[in-house]
Structure 1
Amino acid sequence: MVGAVRRSGPAPERRGFAFVGREPELAELVELLDARPAVALVQGEAGVGKTRLVAEAAGALRARGVGTVVGGCHPLREPLPFGPVIDALGALGPLLPPGARLGAAAAPLAPLLPDLADRLPPPPAGPTGPGEQRQAVLTATRALLAAAAPVVLVVEDVHWADDATRELLLLLAGSLPEDTALLLTYRGEEVRGPLLGRELRRPAGTGLRDLALHRLDRPALAALAGSALGPDGARRLTGALYERSHGLPLIAVEDLITLGTRPGAADRPDLLGVPRSLREVLAARIERLTPDAADLVDAAAVLAVPASGDLLAEAAALPADRADAALTDALERSVLVEHGPDRYGFSHALARRSVYDALPGPLRTRLHRRVLGLLTARDPQPLVQIAHHTEALGDTAQWLVHARAAADRAMEVGDLGTAALMLRRIIDHPGLPADELGAAARSLAEAVTYTAEAGASADALRRIVDTPGLAPAVRGEIRARLGQILRLHLGGSHGVAELEEAAVELAADNPRHAAKTLAVIAAMDTGDATAAERRVWMDRALALLERVDDPEATAVVHTNRLVSLPVCATPEIPGLLAALPRHSDHPKVVFCTVISLSNAAEIACCTGLDAQVRGWAEEATALGERAGLDGLAMYARSYPVLLDWAAGRWTRFDTALAAYRRRFPDSPVADTGLLAAAQGAIAAARGRAARAAEHFRTALDQDATSVLALPAAAGLARLHLDRDDPDTAWRTLAPALRLLRRREAWPFAFDLVPTAVDTALRRGDRAAAAALAAEHAAGLDGLVSPGGRAEQHTAAGLLADTPDAAADAFRRARDAWRSVGRPHPAALAAERAALAGPAADAGPLLTAAAEEFDRLGAVRDASRTRRRLRALGPVPRTPGDPADTLSPRERQVADLLAEGARNKEIAAALFVSERTAEHHVAAVLRKLGTTRKALRGTAG
């Protein structure tokens, strides 16, 4: 056995060199990481000093009580899910509170962090899909980091990260816990496209900076040389150092280490000679090694990854007594360095490559064979490394065997990124037999479907489906996965053609898969397919289902059938939901039941079945948690939040939404779809038009082809109508109306139809308004949509020929909304009824509406209604308020100030001049004895 290695000479270590030329970057990095949460990206070419900068920053933060844990990416990493992150998390033990045990959220990390087993709860039982696993690991990682805070998670060389790790880092960067930071290093020249697969945008409240490191200039190199050789030697050597290294710190440091071992080097710059590459620098140093140490270094270069002393000795064919001395010599001359307890290798990938490339071919081959024998005898076998060495030996047949085995193991342990890397290499291998190509492609498609960079494999899968010789069923499976990848990662109608063609190829031999595929495209939320086309796809799926007896396929098809329009609003929904299997032994069946209940709650929100929402959402949440499907909870738990908006509990909505964001910081629905529309509607009613527009535009920017973006289009158009700009409002509505018709989404009460009818009338196009109202009424025929019926009455009122008919229709809309339990649209309908009907009825209707708006906090609506009341005649005044009590108008101003509104926005919300708004603001601040800033801090 190789014993402990001791350093015995005065040879300088890399960490002993002065830190030069990076002071501004270090200050910027420490400042960013000290204002957590924060994300820092450090890029630079190989050898430019990224690792040293990170080490200096870690030292500065450590002095301030901030811990740092580091993980690194590697091109020959063995399968381990999210390996670089897991490596770093494994070092968190000393930073955790003494004796503290982490909660259930951290449980998914238990199998991956054996060193923290005593601090983590048992892992959850039951299988999980890739998406659920990523979500569970993300949640667990956040919980572990939060427990160790303040802490910085460092992942180096992210350009070598696998897809799954990149996606985890992307999600983590968007939802860092308080008092934590993320620091990533990478080589910019080796990254194509976004570093983490998708563009990293700065999350609210999180710092984000991308630092680029450049080569050192001559003064910095002089300072570096001075730290090793003294100022006189630095003056004589700086020119030679710069000429050789061109400012790359790695080569300059290697030169200085070489010179530091030679007495009198400062007086002999010619000792550097003429070599200009790292290869020659290391070759000169290796020449001074003992023969045993040189053999050990050669073996390390072939092994390619840091290895134990024993493995290095065996690879170099050295007995234990000589191996100890050889390793000591290699370390003291800084050819090899320590990477951890009993792990030795090169300081940098460039250094290893330079030594490897200098090996004579026969020696390189002999070492690969020896290493391959050693690794093959291990249990478990390091399959990625074994595949690497068989490839280096030119043994294609064995390389394929080991590469496929490595991919299979990676799939088994959930390391989809490593699996995808190996499978892509297999697929790219020329002359691969059709059956092997098909098997590899199927596995690749399965591995990458839910990863951040699935697009990187899409081209390979496209090539494969066009390869002659594949069986139709195999081709169909690959094509179906390709279609799913395109659908998930490109959106819109991408992938539909591939999925439909795959269903044809699968129908004969695999009707189960074909039925599921057709059901998926029937329920896709894209604006490109008509409802008629969706019905055809769903009918074909149901027909194929009759040929199979498979609970999972049945569950998938019926789950997708539930959300295909207009089935979603049929009277059969309660019966379909009641018949769902709640206690199946098939995890996928239970998954589909949870999805069905969650989707039903969403549909109920859209159609005005508010009384059903909470029950279906709570059942979906409870069933999902019992089945270990916690990742679905973020969807189901969003619908009760929407109920607070619908029921007019807007302050409670603000509080519930804030709590929802804290619980699900990475939720994709918090600022999109229905929740975005709800936030926009509340902001508009409160008089915050700019904020409302921001919410609406965010929802539309996320996915304008989704039916859940329709209320955002309606809200944005309504803001244009408020500015008396019906033409812009109509242009805003036009894409949404096309989507509405294609999807036959008439049951969804999104205020789209009433807004469009109102807009068309204001543009003088009564024919278009009447045609749309007729389409809406016909589309609701036979369907259950209380909200849709209320909007039908509103449209009828807008189109009515007489004041009495209009007022009567608006009253029916008011009553319908009251039955649903939505006070705000009910009050708006009452206001319309007042304006449309006889003047004698206007006063009571407007008064009731104004009082409802006041109760809701709808400042703009209340101000508009009271202004109309005043136009009818004198309004009785309430007794004067004491000097320290706010009037109703002043309470409205205070609410707007708490929202951060400026005087101009307050004036627009209250329908007064800006000068009048200034007087109101001054009175409010005087009575409350406060300031704008202090009052803004009270907003919920």
Structure 2
Amino acid sequence: MIQLPPVRLPTSVFVGRATELAELAACVRRPPAVALLEGEAGVGKTRLVRELLRLPQVAARTVLVGACQPMRTPLPYGPVVDILRETGDLLAGVADALPPVTGVLRSLLPELAPLLPPEPERGDVAVERHRVFRAVRELLAAYGPALLVVEDLHWADEGTQDLLRFITSPPPPGLSAVFSYRREEGAALPGSGYRLLADARNSLLRLRPLDPGPVAALAADLLGTAEVPEDFALALHHRTAGIPFVIEEVLREVRETGATAAPNPTVLDLVDIPDLLRDTMSDRLARLGPTVSAVVHAAAVLDMPATEHEIGTVAGLPARRVGSALIRALAAAVLHETDTGRYALRHPLARQAAYICVPGPQRRRLHARAAELLAAAPDPPVVRLAHHHRRAGDLTDWVRKTLAAVDQATEVGDTALALHLLEEALVDDALPSRARNTLAVRLSRVALNAIAHSSTVERLGALLRDGTLGRSSRGEVRLNLGRLLMNQAGRMELGQNEIEMAIHDLRDRPLLAARGMAALCVPSFGARPVGFHLRWLDEAVSALDGARDLELIASVRANEVTALAQTGAPAMWAAAADLPGSARSSRVRRQLSRAYNNLADAAAWLGHYSAAREYLRTGGALLVDADVPFLSMLATGTGLRLDVAVGRWDGVSAAAAALIEQAGEMGYLAADARLALAWLSLARDDRDLASRHLDDALAAAPENAPVSLAVATGRVAIALARGDVAAAAVGAARAVAEARHKGNWVWAADLVPRATRAYTRSGRVEEAADLVAEYVRGIEGRDAPLAVAGAELARGVLASARGCHGEAVARYAAAADHYSALPHPHAAAAAREAAARSALDDGDTATATRHLTAATTTFADLGAARDEARCRQVARRFRRGTPRGRRGYGDDLSPREREVVDLVAAGRTNRQIAQQLYLSPRTVEHHVAKAMRKLGLTSRAAFEPATG
């Protein structure tokens, strides 16, 4: 086998070419055969040949490999001479059998002259040429079964092309040949000289660029990861057109950025065009000449499929020269026809490489012509016009067209494009200061009604810090940034600070300042007491005197009804009834939609579940033609919380996951989804999963008061379920302090019963009693049915801890009735289970059976399997042989006392018994004392298992 010429060895995985490799191998294994391998530059022809030569059935043969070089004056028969001069070892074994004609090669192959026959007498040029061709063919035939590979045939001189054509028409019996070439470089191809064998022992393979799947596999291998994200692979495929060489060069640059673990599409925007690709494009354009270069430069500046007329106009060439230049650019595969009569560079990197080759002054002229061309269109593409004006140095028209493009994008709902255009313009150092104020205000307005990313928030903050904005513009940007921080980012304190500063800046614009005051009215935002928000509400309402701005009026009224609803004020119903169901103005409809969605959120926390559903429907209908994505997402989250509360658990997990994915980096918009998942996990007794969802919910909305209290409540519930009374008590105390500071007890409907249980289990019964009393006072006069149910549940816990089991049964039953009316079936079933346990403690098995049966049935209907199993286990313990009705046991042990005695005799502590029997430690202590008295014992150590 002949040593292969030096090449860059492949370092990446071989992907996407299995079919072509199999076809190529099948062809060359059956000599005589000719395989033609066609493909554009970088598509992987050389790699395919190298993989062919690695195959055992090919590597065992004599392999002769050479390549043509892009030389201005090629050497005669250059690649064939290079191949043969390395075959001395082969020639030594067959020299005696060579025909005399091979002696003509002595002058071409002086290294082999001693092994060749004597050189024959010279004839004329034609005779000598024919002898050389025959001699090469005879020499190859003498080498026996062999594979001849000649790469880059498009660079071969005419003599080499003729020689190879002679050798393979047809090849010697034992010879297979593989020739690779680029069609666009004008190589002599089948149909213009090469004649393939008539039978099946030949092949023409056209290599295409890789599909996205192989591109992903290649990228993962080159970046050293198991896989790459799908969006990254698709972006890489688009950027490189699937050409392996370009992919490898781009990923070489990506590796230098260090973003290889989980690359995202934005990384590709940070990558400079590879030097090798840029130099390759520069060389190709230089060879094609100035006219073709002008056409390619125009296509690169236009950056879209363009007609011959459009390219010629931008290039500034006469029509008669454009056509021929296009033909040459197409033949060289620099340009490609993308549609009938439209042409462009193959992929974005090729366009970038060609664009870089355009000198600066010429580039500005081309952009100016492109802007003039596009402006004359019936429907001018304003985004592209803005781009061309900027590149041409026309800053006035750039700003004007940018604003027009933003308006157009906003009008069709493409707020992401609008934000991108504004942010891109605002980081441009050439932007005039007056325009900077205009664009900054516009960015803040668009961001309010879009799903704004962290980059937008950072850009607005930077604009406020750099001191370039006037006071009025600064005030409006501050106001909108503050609302954005609260509504989408969940950063309440920071947002409120920005708005308070905005109100100061907007003292000459009182109506806009009033909008800021209205934004400070929402009690759920931040940790400040409710009184802070209600004071700002009074200021906002006062500022409306004489106002005619319908959107402003709707904004203030929306936040007024929100404040009333979030505090459970009975006046909320009248205020809600005064809200119109629609409006002519889309901006007013947005405010109304926000009002109804806020009402739904507040009603869900209060326990008005039916009303919440109705408000969601009204708000959703308003959103249909007043598209505000973040409002829609918040409404979806409220709906998920409702679904979990009312027991509609099917589909919640999938819908919550979809909302979390949609929210992306704006996690606040999916906080309710995470909370719903936590509640669902708690109801299913999956405490570890619930803990993770609670952590995520708090991380997403750390400054949303009801969410924060709900997370704290969930953590207390988990600690109680695990028997960690210390953690439960400490967590409860902190959450109670938060609720007390906020001053809105209606949000503590779930917290207070669990805090009461944590306090009583830790022996702080009187502190629990004070909390319950404070809570009852705090919700007095509030229209909050969930809080009323919570109050009854907390009273039941307190009564049970005091040993007042009859009262506990009544309180738990009342709580269950309240929960059922909401409906909140899981909470109702849990309250009935608690009533049953208190009834058992009171010796009333009939009442216990009734409540326990109802709880078991509800848990089963919900699919709360562990809750159902626990209830059935409790029922089995006391039903066997237990008479109906309330009875006293005198000096005999009650069924519950017998259970406790058995566990004490088994060595259990009071806390362990309480955890196993779902009782409070205080109740267990009460049972132990009564059992000791009845059995006449003075020490726990004297207990033996009860026998009856």
Specify the TM-score bucket, using the shorter chain as the normaliser: 0.5 to 0.7
C-alpha distance in 1 between matches for 2:574 and 2:258: 47
Name the structure 1 match of 2:285: 286
User: What are the within-5 Å matches in structure 2 for residues 908-923 of structure 1?
Assistant: none
Q: Percent identity?
A: 27
Aligned with 2:855 (options 853, 857, 860)? 853
CA contact (8 A) 2:336 2:344 kept: yes
User: What are the within-5 Å matches in structure 2 for residues 362-511 of structure 1?
Assistant: 363-364=362-363, 367-397=366-396, 399-424=398-423, 426-428=425-427, 434-449=433-448, 451=450, 454-465=453-464, 471-487=470-486, 488-489=488-489, 491-511=491-511
User: What are the within-5 Å matches in structure 2 for residues 270-281 of structure 1?
Assistant: 277-281=276-280
C-alpha distance in 1 between matches for 2:718 and 2:742: 25
C-alpha distance in 1 between matches for 2:354 and 2:840: 95
Name the structure 2 match of 1:842: 844
CA contact (8 A) 1:11 1:333 kept: no
Name the structure 2 match of 1:13: 40
Aligned-pair CA distance for 1:320: 3.0
Aligned AA (1:769):
A
Q: Does 1:714 align with 2:713?
A: yes
Aligned AA (2:522):
A
Aligned AA (2:772):
A
User: What are the within-5 Å matches in structure 2 for residues 379-778 of structure 1?
Assistant: 379-397=378-396, 399-424=398-423, 426-428=425-427, 434-449=433-448, 451=450, 454-465=453-464, 471-487=470-486, 488-489=488-489, 491-511=491-511, 513-523=512-522, 525-564=524-563, 568-610=567-609, 612-621=611-620, 646=645, 650=647, 653-655=648-650, 657=652, 680-681=678-679, 683-706=681-704, 707-733=706-732, 736-748=735-747, 750-766=749-765, 768-778=767-777
Secondary structure, aligned partner of 2:322: helix
Q: CA RMSD in A?
A: 5.0
> Deviations 1:76-127 (Å, cap 9, x if unpaired)?
xxxxxxxxx9xxxxxxxxxxxxxxxxxxxxxxxxxxxxxxxxxxxxxxxxxx
Aligned-pair CA distance for 1:329: 0.8
Secondary structure, aligned partner of 2:579: coil
Taking structure 1 as reference, are residues 391 and 670 closer, same or farther at Cα in structure 2, changes over 3 Å only? closer
C-alpha distance in 1 between matches for 2:836 and 2:49: 71
User: What are the within-5 Å matches in structure 2 for residues 193-272 of structure 1?
Assistant: none
C-alpha distance in 2 between matches for 1:431 and 1:663: 41
User: What are the within-5 Å matches in structure 2 for residues 325-364 of structure 1?
Assistant: 325-359=324-358, 363-364=362-363
C-alpha distance in 2 between matches for 1:705 and 1:506: 26
C-alpha distance in 2 between matches for 1:910 and 1:575: 48
Aligned AA (1:494):
L
Structure 1: runs of 5 or more not aligned: 1-8, 25-50, 61-84, 86-151, 161-182, 201-208, 215-247, 252-275, 879-907, 912-940
C-alpha distance in 1 between matches for 2:436 and 2:321: 48
User: What are the within-5 Å matches in structure 2 for residues 852-931 of structure 1?
Assistant: 852-856=854-858, 857=860, 858-865=864-871, 868=874, 874-875=880-881
Aligned-pair CA distance for 1:753: 0.7
Aligned-pair CA distance for 1:623: 5.9
C-alpha distance in 1 between matches for 2:452 and 2:637: 28
CA contact (8 A) 1:686 1:909 kept: no
Aligned-pair CA distance for 1:777: 1.9
Aligned AA (2:311):
L
> Deviations 1:429-486 (Å, cap 9, x if unpaired)?
5586654332121112223445556433444434544566855433211111222333
CA contact (8 A) 1:565 1:744 kept: no
What is the TM-score when the length of structure 2 is the normalising length? 0.59
Secondary structure, aligned partner of 1:748: helix
C-alpha distance in 2 between matches for 1:802 and 1:22: 88
Instruction: Out of 578-587 and 812-821, give the one that drifted further.
Output: 812-821
Aligned AA (1:760):
Y
Aligned-pair CA distance for 1:523: 1.6
The structure, 1 or 2, with the larger RCO (C-alpha pairs under 8 Å, 6+ apart) is 1
Aligned-pair CA distance for 1:723: 2.0
C-alpha distance in 1 between matches for 2:819 and 2:364: 80
C-alpha distance in 2 between matches for 1:868 and 1:21: 72
CA contact (8 A) 1:293 1:326 kept: yes
Aligned AA (1:482):
L
Aligned-pair CA distance for 1:862: 4.7
CA contact (8 A) 1:671 1:698 kept: no
> Deviations 1:483-505 (Å, cap 9, x if unpaired)?
23333236342322111211232
CA contact (8 A) 2:382 2:404 kept: yes
CA contact (8 A) 2:239 2:349 kept: no
C-alpha distance in 2 between matches for 1:412 and 1:612: 33
Aligned-pair CA distance for 1:710: 3.2
CA contact (8 A) 2:660 2:673 kept: no
Taking structure 1 as reference, are residues 618 and 20 closer, same or farther at Cα in structure 2, changes over 3 Å only? same
Aligned-pair CA distance for 1:763: 2.3
Q: How many residue pairs are counted as aligned between the two chains?
A: 662
Taking structure 1 as reference, are residues 509 and 661 closer, same or farther at Cα in structure 2, changes over 3 Å only? closer
C-alpha distance in 2 between matches for 1:642 and 1:279: 55
Instruction: Out of 627-636 and 335-344, give the one that drifted further.
Output: 627-636
Aligned AA (1:312):
I
C-alpha distance in 1 between matches for 2:499 and 2:795: 42
Name the structure 1 match of 2:89: none
Aligned AA (1:13):
E
Taking structure 1 as reference, are residues 735 and 189 closer, same or farther at Cα in structure 2, changes over 3 Å only? farther
Taking structure 1 as reference, are residues 57 and 741 closer, same or farther at Cα in structure 2, changes over 3 Å only? same
What is the TM-score when the length of structure 1 is the normalising length? 0.60
> Deviations 1:659-704 (Å, cap 9, x if unpaired)?
9679989677999666665665565455544454455444444334
> Deviations 1:720-768 (Å, cap 9, x if unpaired)?
2122101222344455434423433312364211101211222233454
Taking structure 1 as reference, are residues 386 and 797 closer, same or farther at Cα in structure 2, changes over 3 Å only? closer
> Deviations 1:758-785 (Å, cap 9, x if unpaired)?
1122223345434432331221121112
Aligned-pair CA distance for 1:851: 0.4
C-alpha distance in 2 between matches for 1:600 and 1:865: 37
> Deviations 1:213-237 (Å, cap 9, x if unpaired)?
99xxxxxxxxxxxxxxxxxxxxxxx
Name the structure 1 match of 2:117: none
Aligned-pair CA distance for 1:868: 4.9
Aligned-pair CA distance for 1:839: 4.9
Aligned-pair CA distance for 1:820: 4.4
Name the structure 2 match of 1:813: 815
> Deviations 1:371-393 (Å, cap 9, x if unpaired)?
45444444444545554455445
Name the structure 2 match of 1:898: none
C-alpha distance in 1 between matches for 2:532 and 2:690: 35
Aligned-pair CA distance for 1:542: 1.3
Secondary structure, aligned partner of 1:345: strand
> Deviations 1:823-864 (Å, cap 9, x if unpaired)?
544444444445556855531232122201220125444554
Aligned-pair CA distance for 1:334: 2.7
Aligned-pair CA distance for 1:559: 1.8
Aligned AA (2:509):
D
> Deviations 1:632-663 (Å, cap 9, x if unpaired)?
6776677777666555xx4xx23364796799
Secondary structure, aligned partner of 2:493: coil
Aligned-pair CA distance for 1:318: 3.1
CA contact (8 A) 1:859 1:910 kept: no
Taking structure 1 as reference, are residues 626 and 499 closer, same or farther at Cα in structure 2, changes over 3 Å only? closer
Name the structure 1 match of 2:57: none
Taking structure 1 as reference, are residues 834 and 23 closer, same or farther at Cα in structure 2, changes over 3 Å only? farther
C-alpha distance in 1 between matches for 2:255 and 2:516: 34
C-alpha distance in 2 between matches for 1:417 and 1:661: 23
Aligned-pair CA distance for 1:327: 0.8
Secondary structure, aligned partner of 1:337: strand
